[in-house]
A and B are shown apart, each in its own frame.
Chain A
Amino acid sequence: MYKYSLYPLLLIIGLFTPLQSFSGVDFQTTLNQLSEKSFSKKIKTVEAIISSKNPRTKFVLESLSKGRVYYIKNTKKVVLGLKSDEKYITKDLVNDETLGIFTKREIKKVGINNKIRQKIKISLAAVDLMDNNKSVRLKAVKAIYKDLNHNIIATIKPLMESESDVDVKEAMLVAINIFNLNSKDSEERISAIRSLKESLEPMVKVRLKHLKSNDDNEQVRLMAESALKNIESRISRFKIIETLFFGISFGSVLILAAIGLAITFGVMGVINMAHGELIMLGAYTTYVVQLLMPNYIGLSILVAIPAAFIVSGLVGILIERGIIRHLHGRPLETLLATFGVSLVLQQVVRTIFSPLNRSVETPEWMSGALEINGILSLTWNRLYIIVFCLIVFAALVMVLKKTSLGLQVRAVSQDRNMARAMGVRSNWVDAMTFGLGSGIAGIAGVALSQLTNVGPNLGQAYIIDSFMVVVFGGVGNLWGTLIGGFGLGIINKFMEPWVGAVLAKVLILIFIILFIQKRPSGLFPRKGRSAETN
């Protein structure tokens, strides 16, 4: 209990002044106070742990933020808990000794809230400032922008001298300058403004805004204002780039969803209402693959791509052989039959996987964002999906242009009877084409599993959009689908900030209806004789 009286003192001394090290027993006593329910007491305990400078501090803090610290209800001893099955294996936090196995009722997790989490983050960042990896250092510097104080600046200054990496050094300089914006010395403030006038860090903007209206020195106010103007014009430029990126990425999702349909609907002329469900099957395939290889999440996505292609492709061939070929040339019946298939597939998935959404994990290399600067950051999953979309598109164009299957597909779609007369097995070509389109839909499902819910309703959400893109781009034209998808994506994203997401969607639909009135065959209508046969 005597440590309690130390708290005010600890707070004054601050986090980074070395303090007399606690012995192992004392450290455990401090740790045991984490079993307190009140968060205000817990945060004081965390402060005490940080300032204890115990060699285990970093380990304890990391375990705490990962939710692995528990306390035993009987003894109130705070320990490390590792879950295995329904039991918990506990270990001593100080010396790693195994303490025994407990059930869920016997121990309780030490919960933390955002204040504690933030505290841990900052103090771990201070440790990370000395890490060997430069990206860890860079992240650590950026993490403390918001929480600058004398102590941290005093830690950073000597580190900056010895820093070898240019980016980290730059970031440290920014940190010092942000801190100096609050300096008592007006010269220091002015020089800080001068060096920060290009910076896009949100904190800089906040502080400058404050200086602009509150500083007692006029020169500082004026400089802050001009720097702010400069920063804001840069920000608005980057905002346009950002919106463009959002549009392209939204477009690439549309293209992925629509491109399979561009083949089945566009090339074969089959209105396939089950297209969305084929996408859904691809997404569920991703889920199953992840279940099969739980330790290789990163790899599982790559394995899922061919797997989804095969699963959806086979289902597609089955649908074509079983239903669609019997309804050749009767679009209304095809529409209704495939609609029924879509309901059946949804219910099958509900029965097998339950109606609840399934959780598909995002691999490490697809999460987070590529930070260009303080304003513009491009999320990795979107970047990968744009690239993926382009690869799929290119591969599909190659298949249609360069392979014998592609040649036969084009022949059948242009003139079925003539193609048959030339010895093309049109039945076989139909099945293969439909399988190809369905397989591509499956691949789209893999991509979508990274963006949205994997559930029985996944397909419904994309079927309308898919038809929209194909019709807008021009039926039977892959390039039309590409341009149409990107076009609709970009228009949508530029409209969204103005009118909101709901109205943007409505306006896009109105736009397409008007557009189709003017140009019934879309952006890129088919030319020549094949235009009439369809």
Chain B
Amino acid sequence: MKLHKSISSIALAASLAASMNTSAIAAETIKVGILHSLSGTMAISETTLKDTMLMLIEDQNKKGGVLGKQLEAVVVDPASNWPLFAEKARGLIENDGVDAIFGSWTSVSRKSVLPVIEELNSVFFYPVQYEGEESSKNVFYTGAAPNQQAIPAVDYLMNDLGIERWVLAGTDYVYPRTTNKILKAYLKSKGVADSDIMVNYTPFGHSDWQTIVSDVKSFGSAGMKTAVVSTINGDANVPFYKELGNQGVSSSDIPVIAFSVGEEELSGLDTKPLVGHLAAWNYFMSVDEDVNHEFIAKWKSFIKDDNRVTNDPMEAHYIGFNMWIKAVEKAGTTEANAVQDAIIGVTTPNLSGGVSAMMPNHHITKPVLIGEIQSDGQFETVWSTSGLVAGDAWSDFLPGSKDLVADWRGPLSCGNYNVKTAKCSGQNF
């Protein structure tokens, strides 16, 4: 498998190197880098985000661009290959001279880009929900931190559905492991016993769920209301939900709440057996707001397909892009330091009817919505936070990070400040 992937990426890298150099022609444009995988395993999710960015840029250009200049998108394909993300990011900044990069999906690809972005002091927007425990001077996290998705979801299950037993099921990599660590600490702080928490990890692309579903079923038949909190990623969800349906686990017996299943994932899926299972996001396509209807209509006409759906990371790019535009206009330049200063405190409408703001820790404020899957592959919002929740870079529930704060305003200007020892340890990845 290793061999398979690395060879594939070399081949693709070679073919792309040719196409990359052509983009540096027009003089008076502001360049925006788009760093999303268009091939390999993550292409399934990231291609959509590339298209979203192209749509947003086209739209902005129709409005006259920014600072009187047109925007120009520079698209590269890191091919789902983590080290290639760093290489491509370097290429975007050094060769193409982009002023901002929008990209990445998996945490490991963000971690791979991070040293490059910091070294070359650029601006990077990351649109996907992630495990937190990070705040970089150069990265803006427009996706949800755990306190904007996982923690409210668990609160909902506990308070509204009366869940007492918990299955934390995830794919075996950094996001589920960290999120589950936070959730476990949180559940324990709420008085849940160890024996009422079952943690399970599966490999990427796991397809044989018989044993695990059967285990969940017997774990859930102990007379206490049980729920599955799923950080299962990507492709593995389809066979998981199919197995749940076939083994007769319905959403009213054991609801599954997912943090990685959105409209896009559901569109590749026969949703009948999934009805009633839950997902926690900051945006649903079904949100009934004019700004959202407009966005959907624009997206459908841009992509020329009436059946395409919108999802949460797309909204994150929408917010992030508009924030960047505002910050550039406010700073009057695209220079990285100026933009980084200007963007803190910038507000822009989100698609769920509110106004999101960029916080000093480089995370944004968002509402948290919990939706139930409907038979048409859409979500019906069954619960939402009353206001917006500010993203927390460092979790309050992990012993290592509860004393840490991030604040990129002067004079502190630190992403990892320990309030107890009053020390800024800088970034340590």
Contacts and interface: CB of A to CB of B under 8 A. Distances in A.
Interface string A422-454: 000000000000000000000000000001111
A505 B207 contact: no
Given A359-B269, A501-B203, A502-B201, A253 B208 contact: yes
A369 B203 contact: no
Contacts of A460: 1, 4
A85 to B, nearest CB: 9
Interface string B203-234: 10111101110110000011100000000000
A202 B221 contact: yes
Given A118-B252, A359-B267, A369 B306 contact: no
Interface string B40-69: 010110010000000000000000000000
Given A206-B222, A362-B242, A500 B43 contact: no
B248 A67 contact: no
Interface stretch (A109-117, A184-192, A399-407): A109-117
A357 B211 contact: no
A368 B7 contact: no
Q: Give the residue among B161, B238, B381 with the most A Cβ atoms within 10 A.
A: B238
Contacts of A355: 38-39, 43-44, 47
A210 B372 contact: no
Contacts, number: 152
A191 to B, nearest CB: 22
A451 B242 contact: yes
A356 interface: yes
Interface in B373-401: 374-376, 380-382
Contacts of B245: 367
B238 A367 contact: no
A207 to B, nearest CB: 8
A219 interface: no
Interface residues of A, number: 67
Contacts of A207: 223
A457 B215 contact: no
Nearest to B214: A242
Q: Give the residue among A112, A253, A454, A493 with the most B Cβ atoms within 10 A.
A: A112
B333 interface: no
Given A205-B221, A368-B248, A369-B247, A455 B210 contact: no
Contact of A502 (B41, B172, B243, B306): B172
Interface string A358-373: 1111100001110100
Given A339-B4, A355-B47, A453-B235, A350 B39 contact: yes
Contacts of A379: 210, 243, 246-247
Contact of B288 (A108, A246, A350, A452): A108
A499 B212 CA distance: 12
Interface string A315-359: 000000000000000000000000100010001001000111111
A451 B221 CA distance: 25
Interface string B406-429: 000000000000000000000000
Contact of B11 (A66, A250, A343, A354): A343
B270 interface: yes
A268 B385 CA distance: 63
Contact of B270 (A118, A359, A501): A359
Contact of B206 (A243, A357, A501): A501
Given A39-B382, A114-B252, A206 B4 contact: no
Nearest to A361: B270
A452 B201 contact: no
B39 A86 contact: no
A343 B246 contact: no
A339 B208 CA distance: 26
B349 to A, nearest CB: 19
Interface in A231-256: 242-243, 246, 249-250, 253
B223 A206 contact: yes
A461 interface: yes
A210 B222 CA distance: 10
B372 A114 contact: yes
A67 B161 CA distance: 22
Given A67-B375, A497-B211, A339 B7 contact: yes
B255 A114 contact: yes
Contacts of A456: 43
Contacts of B306: 86
A369 B246 contact: yes
A453 B268 contact: yes
Interface in A361-418: 361-362, 367-369, 371, 377, 379-382
Given A355-B44, A359-B268, A359-B269, A114 B251 contact: yes
A250 B268 contact: no
A439 B270 CA distance: 26
A105 interface: yes
B295 to A, nearest CB: 14
A66 B211 CA distance: 30
B293 A105 contact: yes
Interface string B304-323: 00100000000000000000
Interface string A153-165: 0000000000000
B375 A66 contact: yes
B202 interface: yes
Contacts of B376: 67
A457 B235 contact: yes
Interface in B346-373: 372
A357 B43 contact: no
B107 interface: no
A29 to B, nearest CB: 24
A202 B293 CA distance: 46
B264 interface: yes
B279 to A, nearest CB: 13
A242 B217 CA distance: 13
B239 A451 contact: yes
Interface in A55-91: 66-67, 86
A496 interface: yes
B210 A246 contact: yes
Contacts of B8: 343
B276 interface: yes
Contacts of A453: 207, 235, 238-239, 268
The 10 A-B residue pairs with the shortest CB-CB distance, nearest first, are: A357-B268, A111-B380, A206-B223, A202-B221, A379-B246, A355-B43, A246-B210, A118-B252, A452-B207, A501-B202
20 contacts: A109-B380, A113-B276, A114-B252, A114-B276, A117-B252, A350-B39, A355-B38, A358-B268, A359-B267, A367-B245, A367-B246, A382-B246, A451-B239, A453-B268, A454-B268, A456-B43, A457-B41, A460-B4, A500-B200, A501-B203
Interface of B: 1, 4, 7-8, 11, 38-39, 41, 43-44, 47, 161, 172, 200-203, 205-208, 210-212, 214-215, 221-223, 235, 238-239, 242-243, 245-248, 251-252, 255, 264, 267-270, 273, 275-276, 288, 293, 306, 372, 374-376, 380-382
Given A369-B246, A500-B201, 5 more contacts: A359-B267, A452-B238, A493-B210, A501-B203, A502-B202
